Chains A and B, each alone.
Chain A
Amino acid sequence: MATAPVEMVGQLDQFFRPALPLPQRMAFGTLRFITRKPLGAFGALMLILIIVIGVFSPWIAHDPLTAQHLSDSVQGPSSKYWFGTDENGRDLYSRMVFACQVTALVGIGVVIFVTIISLVVGVSSGYFGGKLDFIVQRVVDIWLSFPAIFLILTLLAVLSVRPGTTGFFGLGRGPDWGPDPNGGPWFWNTFPRTTIVIFALGLVLAGGASRVVRSAVLATKANPYIEAATVLGATSTRIILRHVLPNIMATVIVLATLQLGFAILAEATISFLGQGVTNFPTWGQMLSGRTRDLAENHIYLALFPGGAIFLAVFGFNMLGDALRDVLDPRLRGSR
């Protein structure tokens, strides 16, 4: 093949269409994804929507964060209050718009955190193997021996602080450090709580994720090209960065998308239980407390936040499935 006659190479050109420029290729790729995997595209749309609404929430919401219309409490959906008002006369639509910040920030934060931890743990354990693998896997055993929700609740309790204390490693120092907790319609004003929730959820979800990464690394490591690279004298760092990581990327991306759904569901659950982010509206929180008693006669109070959680998690799971089919054919049909 190395010595193909020049005239043949010229003839070959008619079989290959010249590659389109990158923007067009990306546009066609996106279009194909939308037509082939409409539900996956719906999930992607949900993700973009939540991020955009979260970022622009002070302008999208009708009311400021703390506004109350006490004379209009527990009103049904109307043209003035799109999703109705709650028992404190707060506009449910505005609160749900603000809550998008929590969903987006916690979801993305947890996914980044989980990906980093699970990559470090999974790759080192899977690639180096031997004694290190054995010890790390026993630690992961311990990690996975806790029911997730309790590890989250215990970590939340460990990490949270009360006034006058510095908390775990000084993670939440309260009002004297970071943004003013009572200021402005932005979620990061609740800074210590945000970090704590992301940290707790991330630590818990990373245990299972590291197992998946490890098995992907083991599968990649069995390939001849890894052996070839080793024989050529490549260092471990080089093999991991140039050969292992690119090959497990598909698994990692799919895993991250599925973790997004888990993270949002878990965040909603702990909010519902009255833990987690307590000083900013969240979807889970809107379903807890008095809402459940009131919702008997005012069903919209439960329907809108609950439906939002459901649609978001449903969309992200669909997106994860669709991405798996597209990116990682080996995993198709598994799970």
Chain B
Amino acid sequence: MTQYVIRRLLLTIPTLLGVSLLVTAFMRMLPGDAVDILTDNNGLQGRDEVLKASVDAGLVKEGKNPLTAAFQDKKRIEDGLVDGQLNRDGFDPATATPAQRDAAKNSFARNAYKDEIRARLGLDKNYFHQWFSWVTHAMRGDLGVTLAGGRPIGPELRQRIPTSIELGLLGMLVSLVIALPVGVISAVKQDTPIDYVARSGAIGMLAIPSFFLATLVIIAASRWFNYSFPFFFNKLWDDPKKNLELLWMPSVILGIGLSGTIMRLTRAQMLEVLRQDYMRTARAKGLASHTAVIRHGVRNALIPVVTIIGLQIPVLVGGSLVLEQIFGIPGVARYLFTAINNRDFPVIIAVNMLFAVVIVFSNLAVDLTYAVLDPRIKYT
């Protein structure tokens, strides 16, 4: 067993390294980097201040005065480098008209500016260099700063992680509260109307898109109950009542989405267990039907259910994105979504790695729990 745990722990290392390599590779493939998006007119609008702040932050970090540095850039450009740009644009520097000179100056300034920012943000380095520097920094607990704005990522994540965990745990709780009793009853009453309703209901829960359900709930609340969900988010430890007022409904919707799968598995496992010899023995020795089901049946049926709970974590993360988006909850998923849209590489890598760590270790935890719960399983 110890050997198995060690082997599994060692296997997580290449998996996580692989994930980080892959995410970095994706980032390299993204058409247009953050600098393009920040500077281009056809990119996101209104980012000039953010861009300026990030460039200034970089300059200050290097010990330069942003104002003089910008001036030096300008001077250098005007000191003849325009000629090179003119050549590149297909003009002869000697005979260029003033208008062409101006255009060349603008074009050069723009490209030089972009390259300057790229160099400052480390985007001009090659793929492995970027990857290696990210991994070594991450191991020291430094997740870097966002490209837009230069805000540190670590503290931002620390703010958001508790919220996401709260939403996930509440959602899981709701799904278990729904799924386990319904699954057990559905199995005990196999092939009765109760069973059919429960099974169709489970597939219905799998099939209903969470954004549709959330929309309907918000409409129903405002229409018939004259209630609207709070617009502002409060942290759990600041104001638990207001926090739960916002989070309870997303948790229920998240739980409903998850409960379909868990219910179906619970039912299937329960059916399996009900046919076992020890169930017949329990009934034969005179145990009441429900005592036998609960004490001997449910405990054995739940072992594979533990597995599926662990495997639901990626679904949980994905489901929470839509709900965080609709209900305005500042969770980790939404942070990543914004980062993908803004091509903010350090954030994308950091959050994807965070999710990968959570998923890999929850899988490991599931396997180990499985071994503890079911002594028949031997790991080597």
Cβ-defined contact, B22 with A142, below 8 A:
yes
B11 within 8 A of A: yes
Contact string against A for B residues 3-19, beta-carbon threshold 8 Å, 1 for contact and 0 otherwise: 00000000100111011
**Among residues 150 to 168 in chain A, which have CB atoms less than 8 Å away from a CB atom of chain B?**
150, 153-155, 157-158, 160-163, 165, 167-168
Given contacts A141-B15, A158-B30, A335-B264, contact A295 B207 (CB under 8 A): no
B28 to chain A, nearest CB (A): 9
> Which of A147, A162, A268, A333 makes the CB contact (< 8 A) with B32?
A162
Is the CB–CB distance between A142 and B15 below 8 Å? yes
**Chain A residues near B215 (CB-CB < 8 A):** 287, 292, 295, 302, 306
Task: Name B1-54 residues within 8 Å CB distance of A.
Answer: 11, 14-16, 18-19, 22-23, 26, 29-32, 42
Q: Determine the residue in chain B with the shortest Cβ distance to A139.
A: B18
Q: How far is the CA of A167 from the CA of B343 in the complex (A)?
A: 15
Q: Is the CB of B268 within 8 A of A334?
A: yes
**Distance (whole angstroms) from the CB of B96 to the closest CB of chain A:** 25
Of B22, B32, B219, B325, the residue contacting A273 (CB under 8 A) is B325
Q: Which of B42, B204, B318 has the most chain A CB within a 10 Å cutoff?
A: B318
CB-CB under 8 A from A334, the residues of chain B are: 268
B321 at the interface (CB under 8 A from A): yes
Given known A-B contacts A146-B355, A162-B31, A302-B219, A269 and B15 have beta carbons under 8 A apart: no
Asked if B18 and A158 sit within 8 Å, CB to CB, the answer is no
B322 and A160: CB pair below 8 A?
no
B216 lies within 8 A of chain A by Cβ: yes
> Is the C-beta of A116 less than 8 angstroms from some C-beta in chain B?
no
Known: A295-B215, A296-B222. A144 touches B31 (CB 8 A): no
Asked if A318 CB lies within 8 Å of chain B CBs, one says yes
B207 touches A314 (CB 8 A): yes
Query: Is A3 in contact with chain B by the CB < 8 A criterion?
Result: no
Cβ-defined contact, B211 with A287, below 8 A = yes
B359 near A: Cβ within 8 Å? yes
Q: Is A102 an interface residue (CB 8 A)?
A: no
Q: A269 to chain B: which residues have CB within 8 Å?
A: 209-211, 322
1/0 per residue A265-283: CB within 8 Å of B? 1001100110000000000
Is B356 engaged at the interface, CB distance under 8 Å to the other chain? yes
Contacting residue for A296 out of B11, B223, B355, CB 8 A: B223
Number of residues on chain B facing chain A (CB within 8 A): 57
Residues in B neighbouring A190, C-beta threshold 8 A: none
Q: How many residues of A contact B (CB 8 A)?
A: 50
- Complexed CA–CA distance, A303 and B209 (Å): 12
Of B19, B212, B325, the residue contacting A146 (CB under 8 A) is B19
B321 CB contacts on chain A under 8 angstroms:
149-150, 273
> Shortest CB–CB separation between residue A11 and chain B, in angstroms?
40
Check if A153 sits within 8 Å of B340, measured CB to CB. yes
B272 within 8 A of A: yes
Q: Which interface residue of B212, B317, B343, B355 has the most chain A CB atoms within 10 A? A: B212
Task: Say whether A317 contacts B207, CB under 8 Å.
Answer: yes
Nearest CB in chain B: distance from A234 CB, A: 32
Name which residue of chain B comes closest to A167, CB basis: B31
Give complex CA distance A303, B42 in Å.
35
Q: Is A79 an interface residue (CB 8 A)?
A: no
Known: A167-B31, A265-B209, A299-B219. A150 touches B359 (CB 8 A): no
A235 is an interface residue with CB less than 8 A from chain B:
no
- CA of A289 to CA of B239, assembled, Å: 30
Question: What is the CA–CA distance of A19 and B143 in the complex, to the nearest angstrom?
Answer: 70
User: In the bound complex, how far is the Cα of B24 from the Cα of A158, in angstroms?
Assistant: 12
For residue A201, CB closer than 8 A to chain B, the reply is no
Residue numbers in B under 8 Å from A318 (CB-CB): 200, 203
Q: Chain A residues with Cβ under 8 A from B272's Cβ?
A: 333
Can you list 23 A-B pairs, Cβ within 8 angstroms, ordered by A?
A: A139-B18, A145-B15, A145-B19, A145-B356, A147-B317, A154-B340, A158-B26, A162-B42, A265-B209, A269-B211, A269-B322, A273-B325, A273-B337, A287-B212, A292-B215, A296-B222, A302-B215, A310-B204, A310-B209, A313-B207, A314-B204, A314-B207, A333-B267
Residues of B at the A interface (CB closer than 8 Å) are 11, 14-16, 18-19, 22-23, 26, 29-32, 42, 200, 203-204, 206-212, 215-216, 218-219, 222-223, 261, 264-265, 267-268, 271-272, 314-315, 317-318, 321-322, 325-326, 333, 336-337, 340-341, 343, 348, 352, 355-356, 359-360
Q: A141-B11, A292-B326 are in contact. List 4 more A-B contacts (CB 8 A).
A: A141-B360, A142-B19, A302-B215, A310-B212
